[in-house]
């Protein structure tokens, strides 16, 4: 039998769940208010999250002179990009008003933001239909451990290798969370005056095109824990039907697209045509969703394979791309090229449409619903980073986290105490947490995830229909009925079981939203073959809430006003 014999109680003011870039910044900001802060992650803290291995592009509005570098221009573009389905007030408060300070803070920490060392200036590029050069090219390989060190030095309490499974509520207010240490099986009860969710995006819902489930574009260990916890606690999920896709090198899920198109690279089909101009007037500089959308149709209509083409770039651009960008975002990128025998100065690089993720980048409109103060609809519960609908990208997540940490701290300082945890709830959840380790079930987490990915890939992937989505809803319901057969032999397997259960709940939300939205929007993100047109009457957000075990639907009209 694994776990449950030993129990540890932790009292804190702010509990941050998720130790990635957003969560770590939330913890630092809350600690500045003089509060006790606990930062929890199922992995290690120093290299956790999607930014753990490094990043090469940092989105920023710096107000340095050009018209495009002003807040009102950026926010107007962001409003057009998200088609009014994301709240511009959130983007303004959690990102635009903070980003200049964030860049300055990172430079003080020693992060090399100025790759133009000769002139001691920033190198900035544009991509994805941006009106200006918003991306700072930088060397972010040491970003996450550096920020984590700052958090530790500030006095944030780290709790690594703890899988948090459920939130605790008393009198309709979140007052903590429970989880377990995946190596020892020790049961943890966190009492907190406010909780910040920051577990990132959602991966492993779909079959990976390489056949390797952990070969994902972003961290494969982000599995919707925050989404599931928020939903179970009474929070709203927003626009879950929009699943994001991008282009990656064939069978190698590297985040290369931004760097390549930002430096002027082309995307061509087997005929050598720059085909994206058929799908958007800006071609490779169009919105990100256009890249997989156009590639899907080129492949479907017999003009594949498709490729990245860098052969026209000047040597200075190639040196910057191959020396400072691609190896930073993925340390093994050049190893991949060498093993494939690719010289990008003379060879094309074949691309593929990656597996669906939820969400992962700027312009995403899916996730936990929060207001401009990072509050969910549940008292005491905040969310930030790519698990919430605010603003994506690394810099967006870091600013978002900073805002959430400060807002949670302000809530505490203005509220005084908080209710005690409900011990009956704690013990009931404890039994649920360790049940898979105590029973002789017939189903492994691998088998469960394989079935889940099959249903999602076949019926809720690219090209959805009402019949297929109804099949998916039924299939997911059958899987839910099999959850009682999941077993775990050790802490690692128990963590994976709970990941699979969180994924199931997230997938149910995606399928429910996709069935409800009878239109197509954002390219492959939500392409209904039976409703292939974007329809103005569906320019609204779908909110989902868990009511008596079922997902209830409500609608919020899009903001159709011009952004400032």
pLDDT band for position 132 (cuts 50, 70, 90): very high
pLDDT band for position 186 (cuts 50, 70, 90): very high
Tokens of 235: 């929070």
pLDDT the model gives residue 118: 81
Which tens digit of pLDDT belongs to each residue from 494-529? 999 999 999 999 999 999 999 999 999 999 999 999
pLDDT the model gives residue 65: 87
pLDDT above 90: residue 308: yes
Which tens digit of pLDDT belongs to each residue from 462-495? 999 999 999 999 999 999 999 999 999 999 999 9
Tokens of 174: 């979140």
Cα separation, 93 vs 208, whole angstroms: 36
Among 105-119, 177-191, 329-343, which range has the highest average pLDDT?
177-191
The arithmetic mean of pLDDT across residues 539-558, rounded, is: 96
The arithmetic mean of pLDDT across residues 406-421, rounded, is: 91
308-326 b/e (C-beta count within 10 Å ≥ 16 → b): bbbeebeeeebebbbebbb
Closest by CA position to 457, among listed 477, 471, 443, 446: 471
Q: What is the mean pLDDT of the chain?
A: 93
pLDDT the model gives residue 258: 84
Burial of 1 (0-12, 13-18, 19+ CB in 10 A): exposed
HSE (side-chain half, CA atoms, 13 Å) at 521 = 26
In angstroms and rounded to an integer, the radius of gyration of the C-alpha atoms of the chain is 23
pLDDT the model gives residue 86: 94
Cα separation, 363 vs 391, whole angstroms: 7
Torsion of CA 204, 329, 15, 105, to 10 degrees: -160
pLDDT the model gives residue 4: 66
The phi, psi pair for 196, rounded to 5°, reads -115, 120
Poorest-confidence range of 110-114, 189-193, 510-514, 522-526?
110-114
Cα separation, 325 vs 56, whole angstroms: 5
Question: Is the preceding peptide bond at 305 cis, omega within 30 degrees of 0?
Answer: yes
Tokens of 295: 């590639």
Poorest-confidence range of 26-35, 145-154, 247-256, 508-517?
247-256
Cα separation, 39 vs 436, whole angstroms: 26
Give the residues across from 545 on adjacent strands. 552
pLDDT the model gives residue 51: 80
β-pair type (187-191, 173-181): antiparallel
Cα separation, 558 vs 86, whole angstroms: 8
The phi-psi region of residue 49 (left if phi > 0; otherwise alpha if psi is between -120 and 50; otherwise beta) is left
Which tens digit of pLDDT belongs to each residue from 159-181? 999 999 999 999 999 999 999 99
Strands in 381-383's sheet, in edge-to-edge order, are 157-159, 37-40, 14-17, 194-197, 381-383
Which domains are delineated in the chain? Answer: 247-353 (3.90.700.10), 436-533 (1.20.58.100)
Tell me the torsion sign for CA atoms 214, 219, 225, 230: negative
Tokens of 78: 């962001």
Tokens of 549: 């075990």
Which tens digit of pLDDT belongs to each residue from 425-461? 999 999 999 999 998 899 999 999 999 999 999 999 9
The arithmetic mean of pLDDT across residues 73-101, rounded, is: 95
Contact 94, 399 (CB under 8 A): yes
The arithmetic mean of pLDDT across residues 193-216, rounded, is: 94
Percent with pLDDT over 90 in the chain: 81
Cα separation, 241 vs 247, whole angstroms: 20
Contact 353, 295 (CB under 8 A): yes
Closest by CA position to 362, among listed 74, 47, 105, 104: 74
What SS3 state is found at 163?
strand
Cα separation, 63 vs 206, whole angstroms: 41
The phi, psi pair for 353, rounded to 5°, reads -85, 125
Contact 488, 445 (CB under 8 A): yes
């Amino acid at each position: 039998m694994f776990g449950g014999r030993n129990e540890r109680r932790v009292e804190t003011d702010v509990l941050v769940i998720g130790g990635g870039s957003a969560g770590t910044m939330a913890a630092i900001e809350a600690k500045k208010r003089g509060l006790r802060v606990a930062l929890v992650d199922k992995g290690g803290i120093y290299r956790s999250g999607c930014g753990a291995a490094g990043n090469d592009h940092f989105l920023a509005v710096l107000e340095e002179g050009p018209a495009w570098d002003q807040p009102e221009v950026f926010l107007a573009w962001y409003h057009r990009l998200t088609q009014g389905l994301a709240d511009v007030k959130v983007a303004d408060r959690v990102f635009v008003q903070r980003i200049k300070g964030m860049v300055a803070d990172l430079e003080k920490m020693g992060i090399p933001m100025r790759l133009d060392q000769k002139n001691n200036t920033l190198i900035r590029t544009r991509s994805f239909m941006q009106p200006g050069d918003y991306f700072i090219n930088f060397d972010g390989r040491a970003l996450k451990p550096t920020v984590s060190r700052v958090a530790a030095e500030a006095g944030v309490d780290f709790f690594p290798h703890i899988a948090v499974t459920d939130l605790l509520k008393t009198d309709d207010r979140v007052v903590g969370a429970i989880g377990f240490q995946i190596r020892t099986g020790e049961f943890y009860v966190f009492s907190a005056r406010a909780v910040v969710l920051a577990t990132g995006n959602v991966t492993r819902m779909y079959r990976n095109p390489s056949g390797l489930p952990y070969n994902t574009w972003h961290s494969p260990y982000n599995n919707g824990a925050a989404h599931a916890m928020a939903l179970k606690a009474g929070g709203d999920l927003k626009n879950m039907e929009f699943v994001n896709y991008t282009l990656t090198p064939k069978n190698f899920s590297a985040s290369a697209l931004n760097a390549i198109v930002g430096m002027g690279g082309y995307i061509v089909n087997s005929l050598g045509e720059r085909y994206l101009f058929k799908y958007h007037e800006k071609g490779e500089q169009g919105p990100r969703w256009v890249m997989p959308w156009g590639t899907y149709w080129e492949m479907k209509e017999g003009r594949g394979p498709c490729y990245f083409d860098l052969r026209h770039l000047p040597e200075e651009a190639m040196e910057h791309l191959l020396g400072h960008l691609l190896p930073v975002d993925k340390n093994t990128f050049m190893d991949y090229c060498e093993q494939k025998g690719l010289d990008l100065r003379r060879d094309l690089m074949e691309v593929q449409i990656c597996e669906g993720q939820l969400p992962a980048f700027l312009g995403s409109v899916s996730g936990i619903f929060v207001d401009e103060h990072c509050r969910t609809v549940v008292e005491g519960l905040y969310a930030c980073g790519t698990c919430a609908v605010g603003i994506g990208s690394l810099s967006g997540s870091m600013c978002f986290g900073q805002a959430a940490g400060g807002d949670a701290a302000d809530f505490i300082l203005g509220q005084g105490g908080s209710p005690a945890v409900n011990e009956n709830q704690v013990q009931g959840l404890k039994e649920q947490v360790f049940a898979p380790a105590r029973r002789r079930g017939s189903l492994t987490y691998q088998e469960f995830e394989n079935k889940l990915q099959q249903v999602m890939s076949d019926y809720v992937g690219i090209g959805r229909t009402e019949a297929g989505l109804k099949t998916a809803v039924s299939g997911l319901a059958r899987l839910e009925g099999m959850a009682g057969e999941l077993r775990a032999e050790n802490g690692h397997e128990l963590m994976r079981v709970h990941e699979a259960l969180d994924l199931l709940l997230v997938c149910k939300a995606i399928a429910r939203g996709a069935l409800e939205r009878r239109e197509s929007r954002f390219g492959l993100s939500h392409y209904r073959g039976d409703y292939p047109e974007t329809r103005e009457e569906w320019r609204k957000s779908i909110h989902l809430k868990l009511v008596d075990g079922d997902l209830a639907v409500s609608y919020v009209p899009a903001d159709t006003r011009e952004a400032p």
